[in-house]
């Protein structure tokens, strides 16, 4: 792998179609912009139409001919996830890249999705699980397609508590709940990749994380925001591991990419490790089963 991989190293993406969730700001915006600059058609999957349109306009200011558009997707509402997928399928015959990027971090109080799940678990994991399932046949039918799940260093603090995944029976704590949702992202990748391997057919599944990047993600944490000037990267750089996972011919199925620097907080993409908990195939299978039950969405439907 090149030592300082950047968007200049990205292969041409002409003819490819990408969905980036949470693309109106932060890492998702930079991911969408870079893919569009490389020639891909990009659907910015956003929950807020005005914010999505503003992002499209900002991309077009830099790349006037960019084939970018907005799709309305609220990952905290399973009906919205299904509607987005239906709309996409009605208008597209291929899906080369699904970038499961959107996320919410540490709301100060327990909050629920439209379907009654804890907001971080429901949005960061279950919403993306359902979205991927709804688009699975299209992904599988598209040659050399990829799914990139965006996790976090915070997965290291996560524990899957299957007795209470939604933090209903315990005092809610935002940090551990975020960690659980980000661990779930890696376990989802693990089981998805296993299933593709077993079938010998399907997208390349890769995970990525952006280290520490100054974005709206820290909206609920004044402590994290106060550290941003000293520690954080800018979103263009935070997007590089995702872009590497999505486009590099050297990125491999099942791998996990993050920044190369100290504690993986900053730097250029490299292959990174994950905790034992994130490698636990039994937990990944259990999470898969529970996720199908909770969302009512099955991959082989
Ligand atoms: N920044 C970091 O240091 C860092 C570190 C580790 C991992 N990550 C991960 O990187 C990913 C991107 O985060 P970011 O830093 O770019 O944060 P961000 O700037 O806050 O962007 C998050 C995006 O997700 C969207 N989103 C939130 N809830 C959604 C929902 N229910 N439905 C659809 N979209 C929703 C947001 O939309 P709105 O604008 O409408 O809220 C926004 O577009 C996340 O998965 C995050 O966990 C970030």
The response to whether residue 185 sits with its C-beta less than 6 Å from ligand 1 reads no
CA 218 to ligand 1 centroid distance, Å: 9
**pLDDT recorded at residue 224:** 84
The response to whether residue 123 sits with its C-beta less than 6 Å from ligand 1 reads yes
Reading the chain (301 residues) residue by residue, the pLDDT tens digits are: 888 999 999 999 999 999 999 999 999 999 999 999 999 999 999 999 999 999 999 999 999 999 999 999 999 999 999 999 999 999 999 999 999 999 999 999 999 999 999 999 999 999 999 999 999 999 999 999 999 999 999 999 999 999 999 999 999 999 999 999 999 999 999 999 999 999 999 999 999 999 999 999 988 888 889 888 888 999 999 999 999 999 999 999 999 999 999 999 999 999 999 999 999 999 999 999 999 999 999 997 6
The response to whether residue 160 sits with its C-beta less than 6 Å from ligand 1 reads no
pTM: 0.98
**pLDDT recorded at residue 278:** 98
**Active-site annotation, residues:** 178
CA-215 nearest atom, ligand 1: 19
19, 23, 26, 234, best to mutate for ligand 1 pocket (most atoms within 8 Å of CB): 26
CA 199 to ligand 1 centroid distance, Å: 32
CA 94 to ligand 1 centroid distance, Å: 25
19, 21, 22, best to mutate for ligand 1 pocket (most atoms within 8 Å of CB): 22
55, 186, 215, best to mutate for ligand 1 pocket (most atoms within 8 Å of CB): 215
> What is the SS3 string spanning the chain?
CCCCCCHHHCCCCCCCEEEEECCCCHHHHHHHHHHHHCCCEEEEEECCHHHHHHHHHHHHHHCCCCCEEEEECCCCCHHHHHHHHHHHHHHCCCCCEEEECCCCCCCCCCCECCCCCEHHHHHHHHHHHHHHHHCHHHHHHCCCCEEEEECCHHHHHCCCCCCCCCCCCCCCCHHHHHHHHHHHHHHHHHHHHHHHHHHCCCCEEEEECCCCECCHHHHHCHHHHHHHHHHCECHHHHCHHHHHHHHCCCCCCCCEEEECCHHHCCCCEEECCCCHHHHCHHHHHHHHHHHHHHHCCCCCC
């Amino acid at each position: 792998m090149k030592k300082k991989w950047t968007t200049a190293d990205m292969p041409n993406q002409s003819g490819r179609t990408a969905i980036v969730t949470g693309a109106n700001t932060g890492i998702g915006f930079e991911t969408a912009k870079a893919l569009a600059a490389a020639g891909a058609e990009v659907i910015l999957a956003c929950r807020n139409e005005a914010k999505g349109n503003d992002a499209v306009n900002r991309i077009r200011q830099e790349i006037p001919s960019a084939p970018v558009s907005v799709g309305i997707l609220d990952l905290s509402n399973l009906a919205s996830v299904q509607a987005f997928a239906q709309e996409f399928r009605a208008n597209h015959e291929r899906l080369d890249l699904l970038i499961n990027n959107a996320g919410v971090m540490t709301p100060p109080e327990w909050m629920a999705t439209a379907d009654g799940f804890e907001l971080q678990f429901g949005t960061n994991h279950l919403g993306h699980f359902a979205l991927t399932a709804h688009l699975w046949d299209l992904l599988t039918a598209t040659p050399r397609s990829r799914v990139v799940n965006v996790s976090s260093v915070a997965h290291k603090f996560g524990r899957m508590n299957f007795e209470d995944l939604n933090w209903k029976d315990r005092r809610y704590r935002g940090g551990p709940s975020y960690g659980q949702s980000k661990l779930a992202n890696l376990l989802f990748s693990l089981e998805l990749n296993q299933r593709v391997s077993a079938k010998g057919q399907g997208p390349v599944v890769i995970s990525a994380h952006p280290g520490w990047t100054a974005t709206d993600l820290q909206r609920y944490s004044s402590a994290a925001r106060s550290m941003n000037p000293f520690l954080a990267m800018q979103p263009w750089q935070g997007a590089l591991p995702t872009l590497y996972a999505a486009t590099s011919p050297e990125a491999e199925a099942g791998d996990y990419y993050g920044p190369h620097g100290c504690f993986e907080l900053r730097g250029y993409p490299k292959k990174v490790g994950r905790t034992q908990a994130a490698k636990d195939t039994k937990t990944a299978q259990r999470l898969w089963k529970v996720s199908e039950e909770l969302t009512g969405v099955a991959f082989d439907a």
